[in-house]
């Protein structure tokens, strides 16, 4: 397991790093290698609270909701100031 996977999988309270801003819960599209966010929220996002309404069951109810892997976190899909991105960007690769 590389360092980024260790941090992602072994950090106590990893889920608590999320600030519940809801920004990543909007549809995105890729254009010329860049990720752009639309103003269309996931159908399960409560846009008042910015909380997912099915969080505990999201994998079962919405298989399209992707799990945060180190590759995803560092792929540019999340906002650059998302705490997952800033946390992992500080971790060196084992290579």
Residues contributing to the site for ligand SF4 (CB under 6 A): 18-24, 78-79, 82-84
Nearer residue to ligand SF4 within complex by CB, 5 or 79: 79
Nearer residue to ligand SF4 within complex by CB, 61 or 94: 61
Nearer residue to ligand SF4 within complex by CB, 30 or 55: 55
Q: How many residues does the chain have?
A: 95
Q: Are 9 and 76 in contact (CB under 8 A)?
A: no
* Secondary structure (3-state) at 32: coil
Q: How far is the CB of 52 from ligand SF4 (least distance, A)?
A: 9
Q: How far is the CB of 19 from ligand SF4 (least distance, A)?
A: 4
Q: How far is the CB of 43 from ligand SF4 (least distance, A)?
A: 16
Tokens representing 50 are 């910015």
Tokens representing 15 are 């889920």
Distance between CA atoms of 15 and 83, rounded to whole angstroms?
Answer: 11
* Look-up of token digits 């909380």: 51
């Amino acid at each position: 397991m590389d360092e980024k996977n260790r941090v992602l999988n072994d950090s106590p309270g990893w889920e608590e790093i999320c600030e519940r801003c809801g920004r990543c819960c909007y549809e995105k599209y890729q254009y010329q290698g860049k990720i752009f966010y639309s103003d269309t929220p996931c159908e399960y996002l409560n846009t008042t609270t910015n909380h997912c309404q099915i969080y505990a069951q999201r994998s079962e109810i919405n298989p399209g909701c992707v799990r945060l892997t180190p590759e995803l976190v560092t792929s540019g899909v999340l906002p650059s100031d998302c705490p997952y991105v800033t946390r992992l960007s500080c971790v060196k690769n084992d290579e």
